[in-house]
Amino acid sequence: MRVMMPDSKHLYLLGSLTLTLLVAFALVRGATDTVTVNVSVASQTLIDVTPNSVSWSNVAPGSTGSVVRNVSIENVGSNNITTIYAYTTYPASNPFGTGASSNYDAGNFLLIQNNATESGFFFANRVEYNDTNTWNLRYLKLPSGADAVGRFRIGHNEYFWALVGSGDSLQELCSNGTIYIGTEPHNYTNLGDIDLTDNSITWTHSVDPATTDGVLIDNTLTTPAELADYAIYIDDGCEFVALFKWANPSGNPWNADDKSNTDQQPLFLNTADPLAPGETLPIDLVVKVPYGVAAGSVTSGTLTILAE
């Protein structure tokens, strides 16, 4: 039986054909191409404040709660943030002397610190009302023509104040006037400064009082030191005053004739090194519960953060 063997020429051709097919197959499996991806990000200013709730329990009158340090303001938007303000809620009327814990607002007890700069703890806008109970303190020496009397309450310390308005109508009674502030704190062991006929600041509106709800002035007094870094908001109707720090005096709910140059400031202000998208600002919170707060759960308050 004869077996036909391919000659060397046929073997070469067969081998060449096989090699060519393998190379072509390899090139097909390794083929690549590219797709260009384009994305345009919308301009949005967004923040995320966490946690969304903080609590303090069984804080004694005239004392300070523990510091909460796990609060963060994260820039989750697409724009740089150069300015951050803080606002807190406050009671709609004077709660002292009512005997009801629900008449107090927890937001009015809250102090805030920018942790990044350790700027110190300040109320954003603590409100103090014209207080009948303070009027009834027979030992106070009041200025002639006093229209409102109250106390700046900061935990263990209280500083008496009195307003003498010089406006031209009841609605605008305190559009101009003078505020007198005690220099030494009052508490249950110390009488403090009860002479409210000195240590005063006088103000006048620089705009039409009818277009604003109050005036914001720098505290130019060197004493008491605990109040020295606050601006003071004075309601045009002499109904209340506020220790003012982190809030925007020209924004909702405040509509002030802003005459503060140094004492009022944002919680964060940095145009050279803004809070970039994805960056976080840590803040610290604490509460100071003044004397004379009724026992029980006070009405929940709200801290609002405004970023621009």
Structure tokens at 232: 């003071």
**Is 39 contained in some domain?**
no
Which range marks the domain in which residue 117 is found?
Answer: 53-307
pLDDT, one tens digit per residue, over 103-162 is 999 999 999 999 988 889 999 999 999 999 999 999 999 999 999 999 999 999 999 999
**Is 71 contained in some domain?**
yes
**pTM for the whole structure:** 0.88
Name the percent of the chain lying above pLDDT 90: 77
**Is 36 contained in some domain?**
no
Residue pair 271/281 in contact (Cβ under 8 Å)? The answer is no
The tally of domains found in the chain comes to: 1
pLDDT, one tens digit per residue, over 257-302 is 998 888 999 999 999 999 999 999 999 999 999 999 999 999 999 9
**Is 291 contained in some domain?**
yes
**Is 243 contained in some domain?**
yes
- The confidence score (pLDDT) of residue 14 equals 43
**Is 253 contained in some domain?**
yes
**Is 115 contained in some domain?**
yes
**Is 21 contained in some domain?**
no
